[in-house]
Amino acid sequence: VDVFQAWCGPCKPVVNLFQKIRNEVGSNLLHFAVAEVDSIDALEKYRGQCEPVFLFYTGGELVAVVRGADAPLLQKTILKYL
């Protein structure tokens, strides 16, 4: 989940990375979503940050958080939890 604030918007450059990985591993294994922190109370702790935050869930449980648009770290994290 790409967690963003309205004033900053979702991290568009990372979308291409997710698309590439999704095509490589199969569309049923990886799902990408965006969530605006200002409209979701459960994400309140991520408000006021100027860097992108990516939340990784497996089986409905939060398993990893990556701060910043670090493509190699994002790819490593995705592959680890697939």
pLDDT of residue 17: 85
Mean pLDDT of 74-79: 92
Q: Between β-strands 61-67 and 2-4, what pairing exists: parallel, antiparallel or unpaired?
A: unpaired
Count: domains in the chain: 1
* 61: confidence class by pLDDT, cuts 50, 70, 90: very high
Mean pLDDT, the chain, as a whole number?
A: 86
Query: What range does the domain containing 11 cover?
Result: 2-81
pLDDT of residue 38: 86
State pLDDT tens for residues 30-51: 888 888 888 899 988 888 877 8
Q: For residues 42 and 82, what is the distance between their CA atoms, to the nearest angstrom?
A: 25
CATH number for the domain harbouring residue 15: 3.40.30.10
Question: What's the DSSP call for residue 46?
Answer: G
- Cα-Cα end-to-end distance for the chain: 15
Distance of CA 28 to the CA centre of its chain: 17
pLDDT of residue 54: 93
